[in-house]
Structure 1
Amino acid sequence: MEKVNFEEKFPLFNDYWSPKIVGELNGQLVKFAKFKDEFVWHKHDEEDELFFVLKGTLDIAFRDKTVTLQPNEFMIVPKGVEHKPIAKEEVWVMLFESASTLNTGNTVGELTKRDLDRL
């Protein structure tokens, strides 16, 4: 058992849209990620996804609206819902996802990360 301090972990990496595993519980992974610019439209057919903003402002676009998350706010995107994260400036995000969740969901491309680093 170890405590995790996000202000110590985030300076350890600089790449965007590349989640890092920082913990595991009950088949779920806790991940830290830095976001900047626009991600891809995608959905997760079998998994819900939780975005918790630690630093910065994150927009999550849906086909009918956009939700803006500030620090200390989170949103759960239900499985099957198409979405697109957008970060105008660098954002620090904590993600809670099933271990089987692929970061780009049903949209496989250059931003897809299959083997995640651990911090």
Structure 2
Amino acid sequence: MVTGVHRAHGARLLSQARPRLDLIRRARIPVLVASGGHAAAHERICDALAITLGGERTVHVGAGHFVAAAPGFTDRLDTFLRTSESQDPDPDALQTITLGVVALASPHHSLQAVP
């Protein structure tokens, strides 16, 4: 619980997110969109996201919002990571994505792993 609170501290609302899906697709970054199958609206969003990004889609029930703990997810992620390859990424798209991630870092919101 404490880790979840730390992750959310200073985060923006989901309604404020404006990810550049066009850049991610153009960069040909392998994408796996995972969900827990517990909310029809979320499933439709995940379906559309996978299609938009040209990614793979997986649903793992049994862990609510924490899909990473759902049965079978670890094996599916492992397979995805072992078999996915980027296909001649667009260097301009990758540079734009990288610059966007770097811009997220600030004295108040540094990029760091939370255990």
Fold match, TM over 0.5?
no
TM-score (norm 1): 0.30
CA radius of gyration, larger in: 2
Higher percent of residues as helix: 2
Higher percent of residues as strand: 1
The structure, 1 or 2, with the larger RCO (C-alpha pairs under 8 Å, 6+ apart) is 1
